[in-house]
Amino acid sequence: MKLDSLRLCQQKEFKLGGISRLITTEKWNIILLIETWSRYYEGILYLEYPMTMHKKRVSIRDLAKVLGVTPSTISRALNGHESISVSRRDQIVQLAKELGYRPNQIAKSMVSNKTFTIGLLLPEFTHNYFNNILAGIESVSFQKGYQLFICTSDELKEKEEKSCMAFLNTRVDGVLAAVGNDSDDLSHFETVIEDGTPLVLLDRICEDLNTSYVVTDDFQGSLDAVQYLVQTGCKQILHIKGPEYISTSFNRYLGYVEGLKKNNIPLEENLILMGEDEQFEKKLNQIFDEFEVDGIFAFSDYYAYDAIKVLQKRGIGIPDEVSVIGYADEPIAQYISPQLSTVKQPAFEIGKHAAEILFKMIEEKNTTIMSKQLETTLVIRESTR
């Protein structure tokens, strides 16, 4: 019963819903006074309190009974149908409010075969990129009155599959998804498509998956970055490559290759390093021992940061000796020093456009696939000349 160790709130005299009160003692220690029976067990404070039990909800039948009309009439009134007298409608709406009537969306879905729900599957939310995508999606789905079922796949195929099945079982009206890294088998997405549920894929392109895509122009984004490096005097540019098997890695790599080509710089295989390489630091050091690298273009801001740390250990000046460009414009790009130049992806817009396309597919019962590619912008900060 070490209640005194619990400081749920430290205001001088604080009522936690009329149950408990916190006061400050003369010693400035704060203790909790419980006015009802309570116990403290395994770190949880239990307060016996008369919680409202799931009382039976009021249905249109209840309203109908009160007014001596049929449920149909109630339904029509509440849904603003034409054929109903204004006075009656007002009366019904008024009563509904008084009785705290809450339309049962489940029952509605049952008859309309529509849930006003969309399934969203993203790999994770630790990268700001996906948060912004989410914000973009939310901005349009909220305004459209749709709810979001959100699942994170953690880049795990198993979770992806389960989530897709859950989406289908709950009869979402559409699915938005960014497929995870390691999924080579994409049959679960095929199931979604075959089910006839509109699907828009984000960010990463998958071969043989016939559906709408919203992606960014990674190729051009990388090309821009490399062009900038060359224009500012870089002659030997290292590329830190992203994970295998995802289209973005490959496209950014291609942009890098194209950038070199355009500037007649020979492609040197040894200047390409995998960001996820376990011996990243060692290998990077070896490259710097061997080559006169004066520019780095990384698949992500995080890889860029990893490289910068290694360079700083070596006492290499950034950007004086080596220019560095990252990718994505994650928040860290602004916080590290030197501030990181990077290729900014329009994450919010990706989400927004993806949602818009999805709603088009849903609402227009469209039979066509719609794809969109967005442009990146090069953000120059302190890590480049």
Choose the contact partner of 21 out of a copy of itself, DNA, none; CB within 5 to 8 A by kind. Answer: none
10 Å Cβ neighbour count for 314?
Answer: 13
Q: Which of 357, 330, 354 is nearest to 341 (CA)?
A: 330
3-state secondary structure of 72: helix
- Number of residues located near DNA, criterion CB under 7 A: 30
- Could you say whether residue 337 binds DNA (CB under 7 A)? no
Q: Give backbone dihedrals phi and psi of 366, rounded to 5 degrees, phi first.
A: -70, 145
Q: Which of 73, 181, 251, 345 binds a copy of itself (CB under 8 A)?
A: 251
Site string for a copy of itself, 174-213 (x = CB under 8 A): -------------------xxxxx-------x-xxxxx-x
The region of 77-85, 159-167, 257-265, 360-368 touching DNA under the rule CB under 7 A is 77-85
Q: How far is the CB of 9 from a copy of itself (least distance, A)?
A: 5
Q: Give backbone dihedrals phi and psi of 300, rounded to 5 degrees, phi first.
A: -145, 165
Q: How far is the CB of 120 from a copy of itself (least distance, A)?
A: 8
Q: Which residues pair with 14 in a beta bridge?
A: 22
Q: How far is the CB of 114 from DNA (least distance, A)?
A: 10
Q: How far is the CB of 228 from a copy of itself (least distance, A)?
A: 19
The region of 41-49, 64-72, 150-158, 180-188 touching DNA under the rule CB under 7 A is 64-72
Q: How far apart are CA 210 and CA 190, in angstroms?
A: 8
Site for a copy of itself in 81-110 (CB under 8 A): 100, 102-107, 109-110
Q: Which of 13, 26, 42, 82 binds DNA (CB under 7 A)?
A: 82
CA distances from 106 to 110, 149, 172 (A): 6, 15, 12
Q: Which of 335, 363, 377, 380 binds a copy of itself (CB under 8 A)?
A: 335
- Could you say whether residue 104 binds DNA (CB under 7 A)? yes
Strand 237-241 and strand 272-274: pairing? parallel
Q: How far apart are CA 107 and CA 116, in angstroms?
A: 13
Q: What is the dihedral of CA 37, 42, 44, 50, to 10 degrees?
A: -40
The region of 85-93, 123-131, 266-274, 286-294 touching a copy of itself under the rule CB under 8 A is 123-131
Q: How far apart are CA 236 and CA 234, in angstroms?
A: 6
Strands (E), 251-307: 272-274, 295-298
Q: Which of 99, 107, 135, 380 binds DNA (CB under 7 A)?
A: 107
- Could you say whether residue 83 binds DNA (CB under 7 A)? yes
Q: Which residues pair with 178 in a beta bridge?
A: none
Q: Smaller CB distance to DNA: residue 51 or 86? A: 86
- Could you say whether residue 31 binds a copy of itself (CB under 8 A)? no
Write the DSSP assignment of 333-347 as a string of letters: HHHSSSPPEEEE--H
- Could you say whether residue 379 binds a copy of itself (CB under 8 A)? no
Choose the contact partner of 205 out of a copy of itself, DNA, none; CB within 5 to 8 A by kind. Answer: a copy of itself
- Could you say whether residue 68 binds DNA (CB under 7 A)? yes
Handedness of CA 10, 12, 16, 19 (dihedral sign): positive
Q: How far apart are CA 376 and CA 229, in angstroms?
A: 16
3-state secondary structure of 220: helix
Site string for DNA, 3-42 (x = CB under 7 A): ----------------------------------------
For residue 43, give the DSSP letter: T
Q: Which of 74, 92, 121, 134 binds a copy of itself (CB under 8 A)?
A: 134
CA distances from 354 to 139, 198, 263, 331 (A): 11, 11, 35, 23
Q: Smaller CB distance to DNA: residue 79 or 187? A: 79
